Amino acid sequence: QVQLQESGPGLVKPSQTLSLTCTVSGASINSGSYYWSWIRQPAGKGLEWIGRIFSSGSTDYNPSLRNRVTISMDTSKNQFSLGLTSVTAADTAMYYCARGRTIFGVIVVGESWGRGTLVTVSS
């Protein structure tokens, strides 16, 4: 059974870069059947899809964040990562990583999720 675990600093200063890693166990991120997403939820607000990376390494980002986001993968460590530049207090949120796949032609973004990690942007 696949497991995903987010890790990274819980506190980031304004204007700096938020960096998180998702370590995947029980499945290979190289598998062509799946793709790997980052999703976040600020306190009191709804969930927001940040973007995803395919096993090929190609990426797809939410237009609202596209100019600040980078998602990458390290197949040797079976990890994928999120980078978010120029953060502000508005980027304070619980950040989740998730595995997705297409089932009978329907894209399922969050077939499996990590528990999430809270990131606070504050000086």
Point out which residues bind other proteins (CB under 8 A).
4, 46-49, 60, 62-64, 96, 98, 103-104, 106-116
Structure tokens at 81: 């990562």
Min dist. Cβ of residue 109 to other proteins (A): 5
Report the distance separating Cα 16 and Cα 14, nearest Å.
5
DSSP-derived letter for residue 1 is -
Token pair recorded at residue 106: 């329907």
Choose between 16 and 116: whose C-beta lies nearer to other proteins. 116
* 21 and 79 Cβ atoms separated by less than 8 Å: yes
- Rank residues 12 and 98 by Cβ distance to other proteins and give the closer one: 98
Which CB, 10 or 123, lies closer to other proteins?
10
